[in-house]
Amino acid sequence: MRQTSQISKLTGLRAGFAVLSIFALISVSGKVFAADAAPMAAAPEAKAEVPGKPKVDPAAGEALYSNGDATRGVTACITCHGPKGQSAIGTWPKLSAQHAAYLTKQLKNFKEGTRANPIMMGMAATLTQQDMQNISAFLAKQPISQGVAQDKETIALGQSIYRGGIAAKGVPACAACHSPTGAGIPAQYPLLGGQWAEYNNAQLLAFREGVRTNSSQMTTIASKLSDKEMKAVADYIAGLH
């Protein structure tokens, strides 16, 4: 009996020791897991951030537009397009208040050669994508330039084409894309209201003759217009506001 009691005590001590050992292991394991979990939780914070797109800087755009950058061979735009994008003659388009996305696209097209113009291709060649966005952002903020229709004899024809198109030729109304006032739709269709009639007519001709090819939609439309119709609608657009 005495021996049995001693064996029972010994067994109890062993069991107690085993329980304590298990708790100790659990405690140590928990600390190890916690230590491992901490770096994992911190991983998202430690991960390098992906740089965002450079912010558009209208002030930098104005500097390039007005002064150019001789160190990079960038010529000032103001020489042809005038102060704040309001050119003095119809040879050069008015750029003030034009949609920034549209201007950037045209500059990119000139640089890539998908829009042919010897002068502008050379001008755009030295511009970076950031330069293009900065210049476009500056011009988009400038006051819109007003214009007037000059030819009283063709105003009715121009108005009819702009507002209603030419159903017999499958020509859609210009207003459908460029809006009734010629304001256009940002990032899709350019502002036309107030633009020089001479410039608009030249672009319609360029689309029709295949000289300008960076808009399949306009190429199709222009191919259906006569010289008279082009001049009439271009003149009418000049007076829109």
Closest CA to 236 of 182, 189, 171: 182
Full domain range(s) for residue 231: 155-238
Q: Are residues 225 and 179 in the same domain?
A: yes
149 C-beta neighbours (distance < 10 Å), count: 18
Structural domain contains residue 27: no
Domain boundary among 107, 140, 173: 140
What CA–CA distances, in Å, run from 28 to 24, 38, 40?
A: 6, 16, 19
The owner of tokens 């010994």 is 10
DSSP assignment of 184-209 equals: -BTTTB---TT--HHHHHHHHHHHHH
Q: Are residues 104 and 169 in the same domain?
A: no
Structural domain contains residue 45: no
Structural domain contains residue 194: yes
Query: 50-69, pLDDT tens digit by residue?
Result: 556 679 999 999 999 999 99
95 C-beta neighbours (distance < 10 Å), count: 26
Structural domain contains residue 78: yes
Structural domain contains residue 119: yes
Domain boundary among 140, 172, 202: 140
* pTM as predicted: 0.78
Contact 97, 184 (CB under 8 A): no
Structure tokens that stand for 180 in this block = 């009734």
| Total structural domains within the chain | 2
Query: 8-52, pLDDT tens digit by residue?
Result: 443 443 444 333 343 333 343 444 333 344 444 444 444 454 556
